[in-house]
Structure 1
Amino acid sequence: MKQLVISSINHNLNNAIALLKAIDTSTYQNNSVGPYYSSIGSHIRHTLDFFDCIISGLDSNNIDLTARKRDELLATNKEVAIEYIYKLQETLVSYIDVNTGYLIHVTDNMGKGKVTVNYTLESILLHANSHAVHHYATIGYILDRLGVRIEIPEFGYNPTTPINKREGI
């Protein structure tokens, strides 16, 4: 199961790489689209922050999703983001043979303060992947508003979305 989870995440991360290679820096950094005025780069950085929190907290068994680094270089420099994704993919693959049959403490802020719950590695990775897909959908919206057309099948769609409704960007 862990191999399938990591393979699926890496497939989605490959879609992000394809996107970053297909757009120019100006598009990556453009924050002119309302209502949130966030850039594609800020969404990529945010999804990578989520994975970084997992990796950073795994050894201590204390993943804090509120302790994001918010590295602006990832949000503004797509080449740096691509390199980060490649390293992230290598790290994820290294987890395939690691014992993960234990509970991991995961902390997040649900709007009323921090709360810590137990996850398995697979469940937090599933959460991170769904989180990335959600932000990919927002990226698709930004690209549409900017008038940028790129074809990356299934980008921004949850795999449970019926195939005839998945167009990608």
Structure 2
Amino acid sequence: MNGILESTLKTLQKSEHLLSNLDDATLSNVSVSPYYSSIGSHLRHILDFYDCILNPDEHNKIDLTARKRNKDVETCCEQASSYLNHIMAALKQRGTDLERQVMVIDDLGMGTIEMPYTYAALFAQANSHTIHHYAIINYILDRLGIIFNDSVFGYNPTTPRASSLN
């Protein structure tokens, strides 16, 4: 398997660990300011991003603005785990032709645009995007008083750590 996909699966395994330590009430809790988003909404968003990548249209275009947004994934650990397992299984079955070109549709703030990507670049973006949302989830966990025993959860591998700054 390709290193990009291996990294992606390793990153997504953190979602498995997270979900195994949450209940539905915590998954869907929207009490943390300033955005009042839930852990579940961030997990659903992450998985929807991968679902888009894994399901290009008949013209080999991937529309990142056309996500599923299944609210059950945001509120039910079992539904979130099932969606995660589906995404991870599809990634494991994915071919290694990551240099293949694909057109990506996204809205960067001024309406939708189409951009040429390789699958490698898109999966690398998805992995960084996942880590970014893990950082937000980690913030929510902290505000809810929940300790999640993963010292690198939400940290990009290139982020300097306090111990490396001494």
TM-score, normalised by the number of residues in structure 2: 0.92
Could you tell me how far 1:26 is from its partner in structure 2?
1.2
How many matched pairs? 164
Residue by residue, what CA displacement relative to the aligned partner does 1:30-56 show, whole Å, maximum 9, x if unpaired?
000011100000000011111111112
* Counterparts of 2:49 and 2:95, CA distance in 1: 19
Pairing of 1:11-160 with structure 2 (within 5 A): 11-57=10-56, 60-97=59-96, 99-160=97-158
Identity of aligned residues (%): 43
* Distance across 2 between alignment mates of 1:103 and 1:63: 11
Q: 1:123 & 1:3 partners in 2: Cα distance?
A: 13
Rounded to whole Å, the distance in 1 between the matches of 2:127 and 2:151 is: 17
Match in the other structure for 2:9 = 10
Deviation per CA, 1:46-73: give whole Å up to 9, x if none. 1111111111216631000000110001
Q: Secondary structure of 1:101's match? A: coil
2 CA distance for matches of 1:14 and 1:100? 21
3-state DSSP of counterpart to 2:55: helix
Decide whether aligned partners of structure 1 residues 59 and 11 sit closer, same or farther in structure 2, where only a CA change above 3 A counts: farther
Q: Shift of residue 102 of structure 1? A: 2.5
Please state how far the C-alpha of 1:82 moved relative to its aligned partner. Answer: 1.1
Deviations 1:78-133 (A, max 9, x none): 11111211121111121234x34331000100111111111111110111111111
Contact 2:128 2:156 in 1 (8 A): yes
Structure 2 CA distance for partners of 1:165 and 1:14, relative to 1, 3 Å: farther
Larger displacement relative to structure 2 (82-91 or 54-63): 54-63
Contact 1:18 1:152 in 2 (8 A): no
Structure 2's unaligned 5+ residue stretches are: none
Show structure 1 runs of 4+ deviating over 3 A: 163-166
Structure 1 gaps of 5+ residues are none
